[in-house]
Each structure stands twice: as structure tokens, then as C-alpha cells.
Amino acid sequence: MMALSESQIPPDAQHYLVCGTEDCERNCQFYCNDCHQPMCEQCRDGHQKNKKTKNHEVVPYKLRKRQLPVVKCKIHPTKEIDLLCGECQIPVCSKCTGTKEHRGHWFTNLEIVFAEKVLIYNKEIANIRSYFEPTSQDLKKEIAGDVTEIKKIMEGIRTSMKAEAESVKKLVDAVTSDKIKEVDKIEQSLLQTLNGQNQKIDDYINSLNDLFKTFYGYLSPSNIEQLTFALKSENLIIRPIPETSKPVPPVFTAGQYSKEDVAKLLGRITVPNTKPENRKIKPMKTASTQLKPTGKQRKQGREKSDVKQTLSLSSSVTKVRQYTIPGVDCVFHISLGKSGRIWVGGDFGNLVQTDLRGKQLQKIQTSGGDQGYHTVTQDGDLIYSDKHNKVINRITPDTTITEFIKTEDWEPLSIHSSHINGDLLVGMFTEDEGKVTRYNKTGTEIQNIQRDNKGQRLYSYPHYITENINGDVCVSDNNKHAVVVVDKSGQHRFLYTGQRSGFNPFGICTDVLGHILVCDSLTVHLLDQDGQFLSLLLTSQQGVELPLSVCVDDENNLWVGQLTNTVKVYKYLQ
């Protein structure tokens, strides 16, 4: 049997590592990242006392940096590839940094990047082994139990039918035979469904095993092609566990004895018109890694982390409140203020403030329409855009309106006040092109997001905008029929174009778990942080009629504005 290489050994396996120092066979506990040499405690002490190596970085073996394969640069054969071009995302040598192809680009130590990837792959491997595979195996056991139960129930039905048939003797024999065939057909159908579910889980487990092997293969690449693919492997994700449903067995109903109608003497088989209950999949416990915050950010970070660890998607969506907004005929956008105040942008530019009882407090005439053109800042001020005059205005709590920012040749369409740092994100439009501009709290422009790395336009008509917990900027672009997401540095991440043709996104928001929620005037789509579709969270079945706007409050309730003057509030997290 072929021995496993170090990269193939599971990270939590119990195996014996030997010190790499010549003639030393003691147990390895440490690793020199500079020499890429495993060593025991005694050899480590000597290594750190040696004048030539005393400044080397020696760490516990599990925290070591993985050694890169030695690969010569094809352009500069005397140099080894040891850097990653951050712009081109390709490995290069130190001499490549001065060429015209990479002039002005930024570079990262390839060993550091690889170490980060190793941590990610080890985490995904651990997730497969600790959650996805065992949870799938649990579902297989549950399905097997359902098979046994279905057989038991069906056998009980057969026994009941035979007992009835015996009481009417020969007259019932022919009818009994027909009924038993019906039972057999139902049983076959139910078992076929369960076998199909069983096969679906088997296929899913096989895909997990393939992914498991793929991640291991990336831990210690043997050539530059493998390494390049590993560095670009963000798209390798673990698919959600397939949904399966518990079977709904038939119910036997005893018949009424009658000589006139033999068929009525025997009970009949009926399959309840009940929607199969989805099997419950235990939630995966996750932990987020964050940069060290300071002061107020540290306190807010702890509070959000506590909430995030206790929240998950609920199995059902429940309406908890409903409001009628006076002064508007539809609700294009909602901004939640402090002290229970709500700002609603309606038709014909009407911007209305109400309290939680629906009492109108203020009404302002603006140039806004079906855009997310207003937002409430951390200080409680309302900021709204005036696309006709190309300015952004501020309303303070004492109702004073002042001109805050001039946008020159660009029409400001959508606006969002960051919950992370208080910056203002503004979606703008001119002619047939859009952009997103970031301003700080004082109104100073600090960033423009307009084109991707290839020079392609990112936006056309960014009429709704929000920010996710990781800093991603999420935009509903009406003309592109897509949700456009870039990271906080402005690098394009993904597009979401809906689950059907003609996707027309409107209001958009995010929640404390990093979900993205977006309306398309028919339903509310739920995406994860990386743009993967999770579900149609709200449809007409939940009483939503033509949803146009969404936002999430501090209690993690989802507010939905409609093509009426009604706002409905739902609980979708638990």
C-alpha cells in the first residue's frame, strides 16, 4: 500500500513527526519558517542560540508556513517565483515586478498568500468532516427509519383490509384483490420517492468526498499550474445539503358493510393532501474572524457577534406588524430612524415621516421616485438626493434642511449611510453610465467605483444601494437587470440576475448574518454573502403584494414596502 504524503494526512490525524535536524530522531514539535525545517524542542533551543539563525521565525508545528514548490520563472529563468501580483492575480518573480506588464501593480509574498489559502482549505475540510458529511449520514439513517416505518404502516393496512374481507368471505375476495394492488402501488411510489432521496444524499456525499480530495490536493501543490488554480479557487464552495422530505403515508378508512355495493364494504386507501414536511437539517455552527476593533467599534462588534452566533434562518416567515403610511400611494423606499420614526419615499417624490402608529410627522416634496434616494445616518439625520438639482441634502432632527454635497454632472439616484463607519455610498447616473461614490461624514469624496479591472462599466442605473457586513457594496441596477456587488476596495465580486428571465431588482438590504435581500416587485430573493441563491423568502403566499422596498431593523425584523401605501414587517430569523 502506498504511504500517505504529509499533505494527504488529515489535519487532526495522530501521526508521528520526526525532527529534521541531521542525526536527530526526536519528536518534532516546532518549525522554522525561514529554513522550512521541522525540529524538536532541544534543536529549537540550539537554533535560536545560533548567531546565524537566532532571528529566524520558529513557531509550533501546526502554525507553520507551508513551503512553496521551487519553480523557476519562465521569463527570468534565474529567478524563482515567490510573489503574487495583486492586480493580475498570477505568481511572478521579483524581476517581473519591474516589467511594463506589471508596472504600478501591487505585490504580495506568495508564501503568505499560500499560507492564508491553507488555513481556508483546512477549515473547509474540517467543515466537511465535522458537519456536512455526518449530517448527511444522519439523514440517511432517518430515511432508512422512514422506510421501515412505511413498510410497517402499509403492512398494518393490509392486515386491516384482509380482516374486513374475511367477514364478507367470497363476496369480498375480488374487491380485496383490487384494493391490495392499490396499496402496493402507493407503497411502491412512496418507497421510490424515499430511494430517490437516498440516492440524492449518496450523490451529495460523493461530491463532498471529491471536494474533500480537491482541497487536500491544494494544500501542497507540486507544480505552478496546481498552485495557480489553488490561488484562484474561491469558486470552489460546498453546496448546501439537498432538501429531502418525510413521506406522508396513506390512512386506511374502514368501510360500511352493505350487500348492495361490495366496494363500499371495504375501507378505501387515501393519501392525505398534506405537503411533505422537509427534514430538519441541524444548523452549522460558524465563527467569524474579524480585525481587531477599538473603542466603540469593539463594543458594537461584540454585540453583533453575540447576535450572529444565536441567529439563524427560521423555517417559516411570520408577519408581526403592518402599517398604513398616509400621504403616499406606494412605498418605494424605507429608512428607519431613531425613536420609532419611519421615513418613506412614495410616488411623485413624496417623502413622508411617520411614527409607529402611522401618524404623519413631516412631508417633503422631492425629485425622487422609484429609487432608494434617502437614508438615516448614525447621528439620526436624514440624507436624501435631489437628482434634478444634482445635490444631496441633509435634514437634522430639528427639521432644518441644508445642502450637503454637490454631485456636479452626475444625478444622485440612491444613497446609503454605512453602519460600519458612517460613510455615505451614493449611486449616480449620467447619460448611459452609472457609478458609486463614497463620501466621508463631512461630505468629502474618498472613493469612486465605476469600472472593473478590465475597464468594463460596472453600473448603468444604480437605483438602490446598500452595504454588507463585510464591506461589500451591493447595488440594484435597473438597466442591467442585476444586482452588482463589489468589495470595499471596489473590485467586482459577482452579479445576481435572478431566477427567471426579466429580473428587475428594486429595493435591497442586508442583515446581521450577511444575507442579501432584494425585491423584484414580485417576490423577495434571499442570497448569501457570496451571491448564492438561498430562497424566495417572501411571495404572494405570505401576503406580499408587489414588494418594492426592504430594510432590516435593529431587532432583525424585515420591513417590506409594497405598491400600495402598506408596509408589512416579518420575522424570518430565529
Burial class (CB in 10 A: 0-12, 13-18, 19+), 107: middle
pLDDT for position 460: 93
368/332 Cα distance (integer angstroms): 10
pLDDT for position 462: 95
pLDDT for position 439: 93
Q: 356-392: per-residue pLDDT in tens?
A: 888 888 899 998 888 999 999 988 899 999 999 999 9
pLDDT at residue 258 greater than cutoff 70 = no
Name the residue ranges covered by the structural domains of the chain. 6-63, 111-270, 307-573
Which residue did the predictor score with more confidence, 39 or 10? 39
What number of helices (H) and strands (E) belong to the chain? 7, 32
For Cα atoms 64, 66, 72, give the angle at the middle one, nearest 5 degrees.
145
pLDDT at residue 567 greater than cutoff 90 = yes
pLDDT for position 305: 46
pLDDT for position 265: 61
**Confidence bin at 8 (pLDDT 50/70/90):** very low
pLDDT for position 539: 87
pLDDT for position 289: 34
pLDDT at residue 10 greater than cutoff 80 = no
pLDDT for position 277: 85
Q: Judge whether 110 and 97 are in contact, CB under 8 Å.
A: no
Q: What DSSP string describes 472-539? A: -EEEEETTTTEEEEE-TTS-EEEEE--SSTT-----EEE-TT--EEEE-SS-EEEE-TTS-EEEEEE-
**Confidence bin at 293 (pLDDT 50/70/90):** very low
pLDDT for position 310: 67
Is 113 in a helix, a strand, or coil?
Answer: helix
Which residue did the predictor score with more confidence, 555 or 260? 555
pLDDT at residue 55 greater than cutoff 90 = no
Class of domain 6-63: alpha beta
Which residue did the predictor score with more confidence, 345 or 8? 345
pLDDT for position 348: 85
The three cell numbers locating residue 481: 437587470
Q: Left, alpha or beta for 490 (phi > 0: left; psi -120 to 50: alpha)?
A: left
Of 398-402, 415-419, 520-524, 535-539, the range with the lowest mean pLDDT is 398-402
51/89 Cα distance (integer angstroms): 38
For Cα atoms 47, 49, 55, give the angle at the middle one, nearest 5 degrees.
75
pLDDT for position 311: 78
pLDDT for position 75: 92
What lies within 8 Å, CB to CB, of 517 at 6+ separation is 508, 509, 510, 511, 524, 525, 526, 527, 537, 550, 552, 558
> For the domain bounded by 307-573, which CATH number is listed?
2.120.10.30
**Confidence bin at 74 (pLDDT 50/70/90):** very high
Is the overall model pTM greater than 0.85, yes or no?
A: no
pLDDT at residue 428 greater than cutoff 90 = yes
Q: How many CB atoms are closer than 10 A to CB 24?
A: 14
pLDDT at residue 14 greater than cutoff 50 = no
The three cell numbers locating residue 427: 449611486
**Confidence bin at 276 (pLDDT 50/70/90):** confident
Q: 514-539: per-residue pLDDT in tens?
A: 999 999 988 999 999 999 999 999 98
93/411 Cα distance (integer angstroms): 45
Q: Judge whether 44 and 64 are in contact, CB under 8 Å.
A: no
pLDDT at residue 183 greater than cutoff 80 = yes
Average pLDDT value for residue range 401-412:
92
Q: 89-119: per-residue pLDDT in tens?
A: 999 998 998 898 988 888 888 887 887 788 7
pLDDT for position 556: 92
Burial class (CB in 10 A: 0-12, 13-18, 19+), 53: middle
pLDDT for position 25: 83
Computed over every residue of the chain, the mean pLDDT equals 84
Average pLDDT value for residue range 411-431:
92
Which residue did the predictor score with more confidence, 146 or 264? 146
Average pLDDT value for residue range 285-309:
44
357/182 Cα distance (integer angstroms): 58
181/530 Cα distance (integer angstroms): 51
Which residue did the predictor score with more confidence, 308 or 460? 460
**Confidence bin at 302 (pLDDT 50/70/90):** very low
pLDDT for position 22: 84
Backbone torsions φ then ψ of 463, nearest 5 degrees: -95, -10
Exposure class string for 252-262: b at 16+ Cβ within 10 A, else e: beebeeeeeeb
pLDDT for position 227: 67
